[in-house]
Structure 1
Amino acid sequence: MGSDINPNHMDAVAVLYMSKWLVAELIRVFHDVDTATATEAVDALAERQLENVWVVDGKKRVLTDKLTLHDKTLLLLYSESSAVAEKDLLAWTEAANASSYRRDILKKCHKARLIEYDDAGRVVRLSPKGARYVEENIPLLSSL
């Protein structure tokens, strides 16, 4: 009987979001914080672990050379649960020129609504549309 159940991606997503909601509610109630603060705490705990992103000495590296700078940037942002400083993305991607990276990658991704780029604060955050792009177009495992 139990062998008839075939969990799939949709089931996993449902379980993930229900679990995040439950933990956020526990944090909110037991620590007497607002919903936004509790949600941020849970998101920080639920950091994505990706085989193609390696963390070494506080730096991140994409372990494949088959991705464009555009896709490497989105993958690195996908691996983070919060906003990333532009200078960190520049270091992680090893982009040769900051102004062309800003113009050709960050501003174009912002215009396409793949990211939210704060030009004044030099901070970047992946949008839900950007996360969907990564999940549908970039292999997340080390099959590259």
Structure 2
Amino acid sequence: MNTPKPKSPLQDALANVPTDYRNRIIKSYLELKARQAEAKHDAAGVSAGKLCETVVRLLQHELKKTVTPFGQQISNFAGECESFSQVPKAMGNESLRIVIPRALNYLYTLRNKRGIGHAGGDVDANAIDGATITRVADWIVCELIRIFHTMSLEEADALVSSLSSRDIPDIWEVGGKKRVLRNDLDFKQKTLLLLYASVESAVLAEDLYSWSKYSNFAVYRKSVLGQLDTGNFVEYDRESDTVIISPIGIKCVEEEILRTPVRAVANHSLKRASRKRAAA
């Protein structure tokens, strides 16, 4: 007897979105996330375009009842996004009519006009553009969940929060704590990775000490946080005892830590998965 494949949490969260739109949104969004995580910026841009085009058709379905068929090009994407603001208020809430279309137009423009995968120039903007595309896509999907979800408010909020956070497989969140699942990193690298996972807010030094499992708090402050601060990898505010990662620290994580192959960890994960399949 075949065991039915479990549904994605996104399938439940977007259950009120018509099936064809829902499946296409989820497929293109997950492709975008996976491709961006692999630094495949060209491919991520393609997925972003597909996501935009599907969400615009969903808005047409919800607000206008006349939909551009899949397979037929939306001739004036920016104009179509702007047209939703002219739809009567009774047809849909403000986010569907105004906010989401503007986000879609920005995302589509960035993906097309900036030329993801572009070469030349003094600064390689591929990674920056790719990260921006991913964050805007996160917001769009989160907003669709907020509007269409059939989950409880608590469940929807938790899912939205998880979608809005950085997807870092090397960080494990458990019981209100964070753990680094990399044995090849020193404590400075672990600290940067933990801060990268909370890039938009400062983190208590005490939390970082606890999460990294360093043995002595005073020494950790001096030898880890102090040296990272001296090198401008972080900003360590000793008055509030909080730490936030700097652009230099972010670059270090993205270019040196996240891209470091960990063959032993990968092999262990594959063996564990094989054992689970064999026992099933």
TM-score (norm 2): 0.38
Shift of 1:75: 0.2
Identify the residue that residue 72 of structure 1 maps to in structure 2.
190
| Mapped pair 1:99 → 2:135 | no
- Residues 1-144 of structure 1 aligned to structure 2 (within 5 Å): 6-7=42-43, 10=126, 11-16=129-134, 19=136, 46-80=164-198, 81-139=200-258, 143=262, 144=265
How far apart are the structure 2 equivalents of 1:64 and 1:129?
21
- Tell me how many residue pairs correspond in the alignment: 119
Query: Does the C-alpha gap of structure 1 residues 69 and 12 become closer, same or farther in structure 2, counting only changes over 3 Å?
Result: same
Query: Does the C-alpha gap of structure 1 residues 15 and 104 become closer, same or farther in structure 2, counting only changes over 3 Å?
Result: same
Q: Which has the higher contact order (CA 8 A, sep 6+)?
A: 1
Residue identity matched to 1:134: V
How far apart are the structure 2 equivalents of 1:97 and 1:141?
28
- Structure 1 residues 110-142: Cα deviation after superposition (integer angstroms, max 9, x where no partner): 111100000111000001110001001102698
- Structure 1 residues 74-97: Cα deviation after superposition (integer angstroms, max 9, x where no partner): 000000131100110011001101
Structure (1 or 2) with the larger CA radius of gyration: 2
**Superposition RMSD in Å:** 2.8
Matched residue of 2:43: which SS?
A: coil
Residue identity matched to 2:184: K
Residue identity matched to 2:224: I
TM-score (norm 1): 0.71
Aligned partners of 1:50 and 1:140 also within 8 Å: no
Matched residue of 1:99: which SS?
A: helix
- Structure 1 residues 51-92: Cα deviation after superposition (integer angstroms, max 9, x where no partner): 000000000000111100010000000001311001100110
Shift of 1:99: 1.1
Shift of 1:45: 7.2
Aligned partners of 1:50 and 1:141 also within 8 Å: no
Aligned partners of 1:52 and 1:141 also within 8 Å: no
How far apart are the structure 2 equivalents of 1:48 and 1:141?
18
Residue identity matched to 1:91: S
As a proportion of its length, which structure holds more helix? 2
Identify the residue that residue 32 of structure 1 maps to in structure 2.
none
Residue identity matched to 2:176: G
As a proportion of its length, which structure holds more strand? 1
How far apart are the structure 2 equivalents of 1:83 and 1:73?
13
Query: Does the C-alpha gap of structure 1 residues 58 and 135 become closer, same or farther in structure 2, counting only changes over 3 Å?
Result: same
Q: Which runs of 5+ in 1 are unaligned?
A: 1-5, 24-43
Residue identity matched to 1:126: I
